[in-house]
Structure 1
């Protein structure tokens, strides 16, 4: 007899994703504005904003494996969540209150990023722990929907608080995370039905390096091209997202709250079109749907510098979000297919390695472009990176005949 499956449990787990999304969106939108009080260089601010992804690339996979092998009276994942989630909530509240000196702000920032890294992997693993394989796609849809709603709450609701007091969005985000922690702590099973401690040593740093090096062989060149495409288009997406508030405040002269609301239209269209994008991918193929998105998104980005009206920019961001939905909804399933049934885990790791790796360099790279060229160059270079990704995707898919 199969253990009972509950969508209520999935919604409880989704509250963790909701809170993480709220906190990251508040952080990514307003932390550059706080840093601008001390640092004039957009590139240097971007480098600091890329720290979270640097820590994630190196630490999250190993914390995930560590949690696989953990066995306590609180289960496998909760010990990491109990340590990291409340600490991250308190530290994100302290961020805007620590701006009396740059080094104080950076110290709190690093501690915040480390605390987020401690529990992100274990929270992600809670869904498959509580879900039979046949239900995981639909459960993942619920999880991603709640994450998308979290982004909308951060940008449309909490974003407006910035104009009242710079600390308010961070305080509200921290409070939401504390509430989500309490909900998770009492809702998740201590012994989930689909999880058990692992004794597998295959997920080591050495095996990861070996698998990564195999991608550079001639045999795996098409797969490498597709992963490079993901790296490149994420540079355009992540760089524009991280630097949008800087562009809007310092170039357009709007407030931080208005910048957050405008960026919210990108997230809104992604949430609204995520399901239709999935149907499009099913109908015309994942790669073809991605190609449409990889044309639509840069086409809207490249138009933004021509307008100073925030209303028109919101419309363009709405269109860009549709493009991002067509890209992002298909990307992970496409990469998972590359490994066949036997190597899904490997290519899942590769997907996150390349996508998060690009997010390390994107804020710095596009910030550097803004420093040496101009604020509008953010969108031109970001669009060029996405279009280059389109070429790599087309070439890789053509070689594979996916």
Structure 2
């Protein structure tokens, strides 16, 4: 138990350091771009580049690390090299003299950091037993959510007086955590790594990512595909509910831009408060059942908000919805790790989860936006509830397959 807590602390610390730079990047790099670019659309494209890189890079590096064998393990060697490089690139951002140089540094930083994120996340299934992964993931989610506050505080108290030096704070955090990781963590001691080494066949080449995806798609066991479909659908609903909330508040609730932008703030607190209980509930009642219940609460909250639109009511339903979303966010990745065919694929499945989530985040706001164009802003919350309800139906089907699989293991 003490070892589990120690590893959980270092996983959370590593992802905290990574997300601290990401959130400060999102806060301040648009201002750097404005010094060179007048078009808000172009700034948006450049800022969205990291997500496009993530779709390609994260599954690839996850799969590559699955087949890495060193005396330090399979994830940590990449982390101890990549995190200092990312810190250096991050430090260079405010010193770039021209737009082309800034873009090159942005691409370099986004490329390196997209390789680091799935590696750090994959340490959870490497080290933590399946029945305790939800608790660790909850602590990690809480830690990474706190980086939003850290980035905001740096922006508030440092950026105006020291705009370049402010970038050093997240970079130093990243470097200090790298040193701690080198000193305290060797994932060659993890159960996941040992199981992967034991499963290695002498002389067998590593399985490429396309082979992992082909096995996933062609397998008669549809549970993993259904879970990824759930991630896509609910990811679309979640991102739509966040990204379209400000114009909804202005158009339907007659709020100012600032007031509408603050609608989601209390729900962020609700998400944090619900994260760890969501993990405990999954251990008691079953992970898929808690995921389904959480998504149902999310959809029901949106439907209630659509029927009775008011500023106060919207804040309340967003808080309820965020608590429901926490049940999904804490447990969905864990469910996918637990369904992975082998510990030799945990990194690849971590990357596939991220890609599916990103694709949902891209498609959801676009599709809900199209529905708004047809039906008007008045029904935006109701539109957003639709993919969430579809996700509930999919995970309900998944739960039935899981029950059948558990009752007939010999034929699964």
Asked if Structure 1 and Structure 2 have the same fold, meaning a TM-score greater than 0.5 normalized by the shorter chain, the answer is yes
CA distances 1:259-288 after superposition (whole Å, capped 9, x unpaired): 5x8655444323322232234334444333
Corresponding position of 2:279: 278
The DSSP-based 3-state class of the residue aligned with 1:254 is helix
Does the C-alpha gap of structure 1 residues 178 and 355 become closer, same or farther in structure 2, counting only changes over 3 Å?
A: closer
Stretches of structure 2 lacking an aligned partner (at least 5 in a row) = 405-412
CA contact (8 A) 2:60 2:351 kept: no
The alignment status of 1:213 with 2:217, answered yes or no, reads: yes
Residue 77 of structure 1: how far off its partner (Å) = 3.7
The alignment status of 1:392 with 2:394, answered yes or no, reads: yes
Deviates more, 1:270-279 or 1:368-377: 368-377
The DSSP-based 3-state class of the residue aligned with 1:203 is coil
Deviates more, 1:358-367 or 1:27-36: 27-36
Does the C-alpha gap of structure 1 residues 175 and 286 become closer, same or farther in structure 2, counting only changes over 3 Å?
A: same
Q: Under a length normalisation based on structure 1, what TM-score does the superposition of the two structures give? A: 0.72
CA contact (8 A) 1:366 1:378 kept: no
CA distances 1:356-394 after superposition (whole Å, capped 9, x unpaired): 224135246525865984888875554332222223223
Corresponding position of 2:145: 151
Alignment match of 1:59 (pick from 47, 57, 62): 57
The DSSP-based 3-state class of the residue aligned with 2:207 is coil
Residue 113 of structure 1: how far off its partner (Å) = 1.3
2: CA distance, partners of 1:34 / 1:347: 37
Counting only pairs closer than 5 Å after superposition, residues 55-94 of structure 1 correspond to structure 2 as 55-70=53-68, 76-94=74-92
Does the C-alpha gap of structure 1 residues 74 and 226 become closer, same or farther in structure 2, counting only changes over 3 Å?
A: closer
Deviates more, 1:225-234 or 1:154-163: 154-163
Does the C-alpha gap of structure 1 residues 29 and 391 become closer, same or farther in structure 2, counting only changes over 3 Å?
A: farther
CA contact (8 A) 1:233 1:385 kept: yes
Does the C-alpha gap of structure 1 residues 266 and 85 become closer, same or farther in structure 2, counting only changes over 3 Å?
A: farther
Deviates more, 1:371-380 or 1:227-236: 371-380
CA distances 1:201-225 after superposition (whole Å, capped 9, x unpaired): 353234223213315xxx4456533
Corresponding position of 1:237: 238
Residue 71 of structure 1: how far off its partner (Å) = 5.5
2: CA distance, partners of 1:71 / 1:347: 14
Residue 233 of structure 1: how far off its partner (Å) = 0.5
Residue 17 of structure 1: how far off its partner (Å) = 1.7
CA distances 1:60-94 after superposition (whole Å, capped 9, x unpaired): 34334444554567664444223321232343455
CA contact (8 A) 2:232 2:360 kept: no
Does the C-alpha gap of structure 1 residues 230 and 97 become closer, same or farther in structure 2, counting only changes over 3 Å?
A: same
CA contact (8 A) 2:84 2:174 kept: yes
Deviates more, 1:161-170 or 1:391-400: 161-170
Corresponding position of 1:293: 294
Corresponding position of 1:12: 10
Deviates more, 1:115-124 or 1:352-361: 352-361
Corresponding position of 2:321: 320
1: CA distance, partners of 2:320 / 2:166: 27
Corresponding position of 1:175: 172
1: CA distance, partners of 2:257 / 2:285: 42
Residue 226 of structure 1: how far off its partner (Å) = 3.7
CA contact (8 A) 2:291 2:332 kept: yes
1: CA distance, partners of 2:98 / 2:21: 22
> How many residues are treated as equivalent by the alignment?
383
Residue 240 of structure 1: how far off its partner (Å) = 4.3
1: CA distance, partners of 2:270 / 2:45: 28
Corresponding position of 2:106: 109
1: CA distance, partners of 2:378 / 2:43: 17
Corresponding position of 2:361: 362
Stretches of structure 1 lacking an aligned partner (at least 5 in a row) = none
Structure number with bigger Rg = 2
2: CA distance, partners of 1:82 / 1:348: 17
2: CA distance, partners of 1:284 / 1:299: 21
2: CA distance, partners of 1:237 / 1:11: 28
CA distances 1:78-113 after superposition (whole Å, capped 9, x unpaired): 442233212323434555666974x55543332221
Residue 116 of structure 1: how far off its partner (Å) = 0.7
Deviates more, 1:6-15 or 1:232-241: 6-15
